[in-house]
Amino acid sequence: MTKVFEEIVCLHAPEAAPLLLGSTFRVGKCAGRIVELEAYTQDDPSSHSYRGMTARNEPMFMRGGHLYVYLSYGVHWCLNIVTGNEGEGEALLVRAIEPIEGVELMKKRRQVDDIKRLCKGPGNLTKAFGISKQHSGLLIGTQGVSLELSPKSVEYRVGERIGISIAKEWKRRYWIKDSSFVSR
């Protein structure tokens, strides 16, 4: 018996993460299987929501099932799936996707041919999917954006998150065991 989408995205990010691994994320013609996620909650000093709401992170405080997209280092767009209830300020950073559909378009956007590298890393997958600021705040299920749950549970691993300097030791990175599409 699989839980429905709404029941999962209203969970807290660390509980939702393993349940969303393996699900199929779609934007328009491009789709792929989420293989790597990181959880960020409001009590986490490394989270954008830690110091409260700003114009940038406002979608992070919407109810679970929305998207939060931000610009990293002034260069790369990063995609989050918001979790929890309205006002909780938590989300899952999507770090890697296994491409399934729209591969040619992804290759063109990325100027990369190797399918293993197309959606490896948060900044790379947004480029492949054509995701940017305009997608921040969208609700999954609208505007050609969808997320289809994996019919069966997936074997996964948990470890420390990547690229942060505070709360490094929090084990909140989740990835599908043995997937060669994971960022590292």
Footprint (CB under 7 A) of DNA, residues 132-161: 133, 161
Q: Burial code of 110-122, b = ≥16 C-beta within 10 A, e = fewer?
A: bebeeeeebbbbb
> Of the candidates 23, 80, 83, 136, which one interacts with DNA according to CB under 7 A?
80
CB of 140 to DNA, least distance (A): 16
> Of the candidates 49, 83, 136, 179, which one interacts with DNA according to CB under 7 A?
49
Provide the β-strand partners of residue 30: 27
Listed residue (121, 99, 79) closest to 29, CA to CA: 99
CA 49, 156, 181, 83 torsion: positive or negative? negative
Cβ atoms of 157 and 174 within 8 Å: the answer is yes
Cβ atoms of 25 and 36 within 8 Å: the answer is no
CB of 112 to DNA, least distance (A): 7
Binding mask 25-44 for DNA (x = CB under 7 A): -------------x-x----
Rounded Cα distance between 119 and 54, Å, is 28
Per CB under 7 A, 122 contacts DNA: yes
Size of the site for DNA (CB under 7 A): 40
Structure tokens at 19: 């349940």
Per CB under 7 A, 115 contacts DNA: no
CA 181, 115, 40, 149 torsion: positive or negative? negative
Only segment of 15-23, 28-36, 120-128, 170-178 that touches DNA (CB under 7 A): 120-128
CB of 163 to DNA, least distance (A): 2
> Of the candidates 2, 54, 132, 153, which one interacts with DNA according to CB under 7 A?
54
Question: Residues interacting with DNA, by CB under 7 A?
Answer: 38, 40, 46-49, 51-52, 54-57, 60, 68, 70-76, 78, 80, 91, 93, 110, 112, 117, 121-124, 133, 161-166, 183
